[in-house]
Structure 1
Amino acid sequence: MAKTSTRDRMSNEINAGSMADIAFLLLIFFLVTTTIAEDKGILVKLPPWSDEEPDITKLKERNVYSVLVNAQNQLLVREEPMRLANLRESTKEFIMNPNNMPNMAESPQNAIISLKNDRGTNYQTYLAVYNELKGAYQELWDDLANKRYGEPYTDDMEFAKRKSIREEIPFVISEAEPTSFGDEQ
């Protein structure tokens, strides 16, 4: 029989049986405790999907505020060129129609903003136009809330107050299907 030395009895191996368990537990811990940042974007409520043909109603042209953005990122508002800086004030004037002009909306409840862009439109331009249109509504809501309740229109405002303001000036932006690249001149 061969004599075993103390050197042969000492093993250089490390018992790694529980290492996989520890790594698995750490992985689960970090997956559970890590929060993933959500991308924020434009909050738009889309209509429900339907296979039925849409009911096409004839709208009065005076109630439709058409905003076209072409592939060169230029605005055409109601068939006239406009700068982005003037869009918000023009939109507010169209919605409220303070002078009862025949080419503006009959009332805020009837006002419809139609936004159409080209597939070549720059995304930053699209967002800037959308923000100006949304900002026009936000300013109108804020003015009405200050006049009626003496406080600005915020998410902290009572639900009933916000609802009455939104009923008087409803947020209506209709987005048309984008045209092919370069079709809008």
Structure 2
Amino acid sequence: MRLDSTADVAFLLLIFFIVTTIFAAEQGLTLVLPGKQKKADDTITVKESNIATIYVDETNHITLDRKSIEINHIKTKIEDRILGNPKLVVLLKIHPEADYGRMVACLDELRLAKATKVSLKTAAE
């Protein structure tokens, strides 16, 4: 019994399956990150009245400016705030123990609200 072509057939099958396999596209967050600061004094100071702070604590409870809010109400509240103040910057503070999915859900709501000025921060309160 000849087995010298078995390696060739196995190699061809391997190539066939590699070429015909469909690879799943990875999904991720699309974020535009700021460029490098030229000098230390390039930091921009934002007035407190132009900041909306969303905080997700270790129990995944969400607050907007220290008032409890459901995740599905973030879009409406932020849209209204942006209409009243186009310079609004949203500060999204996430507790290190909070679920990653909760942060992504908040970012999705901010994207739907057309919030273009978003700052991310990991912080315990």
Q: TM-score, normalised by structure 1?
A: 0.59
Aligned-residue CA RMSD (Å): 2.2
Give the corresponding residue for 1:9.
Answer: none
Give the C-alpha shift of residue 50 in structure 1: 6.9
Give the C-alpha shift of residue 52 in structure 1: 6.5
Unaligned 5+ segments in structure 2 are none
> Is 1:128 aligned with 2:73?
no
Residues 96, 122 of structure 1: CA spacing in aligned structure 2 closer, same or farther, 3 A cutoff?
same
Give the corresponding residue for 2:29.
Answer: 42
Unaligned 5+ segments in structure 1 are 1-13, 98-104, 138-169
CA distance in 2, matches of 1:173, 1:55: 18
Give the corresponding residue for 2:116.
Answer: 171
Q: TM-score, normalised by structure 2?
A: 0.84
Give the corresponding residue for 2:45.
Answer: 58
Residues 47, 33 of structure 1: CA spacing in aligned structure 2 closer, same or farther, 3 A cutoff?
farther
Give the letter aligned to residue 112 of structure 2.
G
Between structure 1 and structure 2, the one with the greater Rg is 1
Residues 50, 37 of structure 1: CA spacing in aligned structure 2 closer, same or farther, 3 A cutoff?
farther
CA distance in 2, matches of 1:74, 1:117: 10
Give the C-alpha shift of residue 127 in structure 1: 2.3
CA distance in 2, matches of 1:52, 1:23: 60
CA distance in 2, matches of 1:55, 1:171: 20
CA distance in 1, matches of 2:120, 2:15: 44
Matched length: 125
CA distance in 2, matches of 1:58, 1:26: 62
Identify, as 1 or 2, the structure richer in strand.
2
CA distance in 2, matches of 1:51, 1:25: 55
CA distance in 1, matches of 2:25, 2:45: 40
Give the letter aligned to residue 26 of structure 2.
D
Give the corresponding residue for 2:92.
Answer: 115
Q: 2:78 aligns with which of 91, 101, 104?
A: 91
Residues 42, 56 of structure 1: CA spacing in aligned structure 2 closer, same or farther, 3 A cutoff?
same
CA displacement, residues 134-184 of structure 1 (integer Å, 9 cap, x when unaligned): 1111xxxxxxxxxxxxxxxxxxxxxxxxxxxxxxxx7222112x12xxx32
CA distance in 2, matches of 1:51, 1:29: 52
Give the letter aligned to residue 91 of structure 2.
S
Give the C-alpha shift of residue 51 in structure 1: 9.5
